[in-house]
Amino acid sequence: MFVRRITRAAAPVLGLAAVLVLGACGSDGGTEDTGSSGDSGSSGAATAETLRIGIMSEEGNLTPHTYATGFPGLNLTMLSYDSLMQIDENGEPQPWLAETVEGSADGLTYTLGLADGVTWHDGEPLTAEDVTFSVDYYKAGPPGRFATAMGNVSQAVAQDESTVVLTLATPDPSFQIRVLADVPILPQHIWSGIADPDLAPFDETTNVGSGPYRLVESDPGVSYSFEAYPEYFRGEPKVDELVVVQFADEAGATAALRSGEIDTMMRSISPEQIDVLRGTGTLDVIEAPEYTTTLLVFNTAVPPFDQAEFRQAVALAVDRQRLVDDVFLGAAVVGNAGWVHPDSPWYVDSVETVYDPEAAAELLDEIGLTDSDSDGVRELGGAPLSFELLVASNNALRMRLAELIGEQLAEVGIDVEVSSVEMQTLDDAVWPGYDVNLGRNYDMAMWGWSAPSQADIGQMASLVASDPAIGNLNVTGYSDPETDALAVQLDTELDPAARQQVANQLQQRIAEEVPFVSLLHPNGAYGYNPDVFGDWVSITGTGPMTKLSFIPDDGQP
């Protein structure tokens, strides 16, 4: 059954930048302990007839135009579709549909040689015309993640059936990771007949990709079923059928895992469940640090969040280590004031992350936010300094974080009312329509970006630039000329050493200006039944829930 649902593609899932990849290259296919990916410890059956997977959110109809969220929606969609490059285990983009990728010295031209023998699920060959069609179709289509990604491609030309030349309007040092390794290629013979992708009929005739799996049943809000595509150009998938079942929350999904109703979950389990699941004797857990970020975001367009000193005071009052210890039981990395994950090659250790509630109180005094009536709450314009903190009701860990942050801010005289809301309500307040041009309607919120957003350093610019063309993830509305100048440099600098210097400066600026507070990075922990399937491939900073886990070893990038 195919159920049509109109849902725009949303949240970002991007990867780790490499400035140029010339020619075909790859890894040895083994899982590497790099220090940031950790030892996944996965083991168990290498193949399976059916793998049942639990999710906790509705993901719409899984096409590149209608999946609902970056994770797991895009990950599920990319089981059926492929991009020109693919992120490998180490988080680096490697040739995929494009067997060779050659970039010009000025960063404005990419010549792509497509792999031989790639076919769509209906048996039609994938050609250069499909690639050029995809570029033009996304550019002409409704606003969304892939339309934005393709916005810098000024021309796409098929030189022959297997060669494509892409011309960029401006140099983009993140082009390989942000576009080539992210944007799914569409079959021209299917989508050329669909004028409005948001109104496309979702059935067996239109649901055609080139990926290792074809979506054969779709009932958004209930379940999805995928069948392996045996002619996949990277080899026949290791699992014949994937059945994805939606649960209301983690508790329901975890109970289903323990009872054997499902075999794994796409979302990381709560820290307290790790030993519980391992103690069953039948289940195991893949553990690896991830780049997922948990943030406290502000609406910087409204007082007093429009003052850097106030935002600094909030950051000083939040004990990140306590959040990690009390809520995540140590299974997380303390957030860096400069945004970048401490395990990232872009991290600069000169940026300090400080907890000092006394200094926070002094800052609040200095900017005139005092407690004149000694009731424990400071005043702003004669009214109590009180704010609403929005948090998604389906995320128990973030609920606990919000409550603890409220307690910590109360200690310095800031009153916080934690409001538990539906995820869509939170999205509508913080990122309406997934478009920063539409503004925002909140004081503070618990927010986060999916794991791979950390891996592309260019995404740091998108978080803080006031120009929506660059700052398409600037949900705080933050605006600062010095930050904007650094964001533009980070977005365009091709020289790796020079780009590192700009990244260092921008991290320092974020730490000083505090457009948001980076709270922590939860470690990934995925429960699974090794007797059903356990041959997981974990990507550095991202985890194991991608197509790489289902592709044969000799087909890995």
pLDDT tens digits along 113-169: 999 999 999 999 999 999 999 999 999 988 888 998 999 999 999 999 999 999 999
User: What are residue 414's phi and psi, to 5 degrees?
Assistant: -110, 120
Domain positions in the chain: 48-288+541-555, 293-458+514-522
Q: Work out the average pLDDT over 7-29.
A: 30
Pairing of strands 293-298, 516-528: antiparallel
User: What are residue 363's phi and psi, to 5 degrees?
Assistant: -60, -45
What residues contact residue 26 under an 8 Å CB cut-off, 6+ apart? Answer: 88, 94, 95, 556, 557
Comparing CA positions, the residue from 288, 213, 284 lying closest to residue 532 is 284
Environment class of 344 (CB within 10 Å of its CB; exposed 0-12, middle 13-18, buried 19+): buried
pLDDT at 139: 94
Distance, first Cα to last Cα, the chain: 34
pLDDT grade for 205, boundaries at 50, 70 and 90: low
Which residue in this structure is represented by tokens 């994805």?
244
Tens of pLDDT, residues 210-219: 999 999 999 9
Give the torsion sign (CA, 71, 43, 30, 117): negative
3 pLDDT exceeds 70? no
72 pLDDT exceeds 50? yes
**In contact, 201 and 195? CB cutoff 8 Å:** no
**In contact, 318 and 307? CB cutoff 8 Å:** no
At CB < 8 A and 24+ separation, what contacts does 420-425 make? 420/391, 420/392, 420/393, 421/390, 421/391, 421/392, 421/393, 422/392, 422/393, 422/394, 423/57, 423/392, 423/393, 423/394, 425/390
Q: Where are the alpha helices (DSSP H) in 393-495?
A: 396-410, 423-430, 459-464, 481-492
In angstroms, rounded to a whole number, what is the distance separating the alpha carbons of residues 546 and 538?
8
Average per-residue pLDDT in the chain? 89
Strands (E), 266-329: 284-289, 293-298
**In contact, 175 and 110? CB cutoff 8 Å:** yes
17 pLDDT exceeds 90? no
* Rama region for 376: left / alpha / beta (φ>0; ψ in -120 to 50; rest): left
Q: Work out the average pLDDT over 471-480.
A: 96
Out of 2.140.10.10, 3.30.70.1400, 3.40.190.10, 3.90.850.10, the CATH code matching 48-288+541-555 is 3.40.190.10
Q: HEC string of 304-319?
A: CCCCHHHHHHHHHHCC
pTM of the model: 0.80
DSSP assignment letter at 290: B
Question: What CATH number belongs to 293-458+514-522?
Answer: 3.10.105.10
Question: Which letter, b or e, does each residue of 261-298 get, where b requires 16 or more Cβ atoms within 10 Å of its Cβ?
Answer: ebbbbbbbbbbebbeebeeeeebbbbbbbbbbbbbbbb
37 pLDDT exceeds 80? no
How far is Cα of residue 172 from the mean position of the Cα atoms in its chain? 20
**In contact, 239 and 213? CB cutoff 8 Å:** no
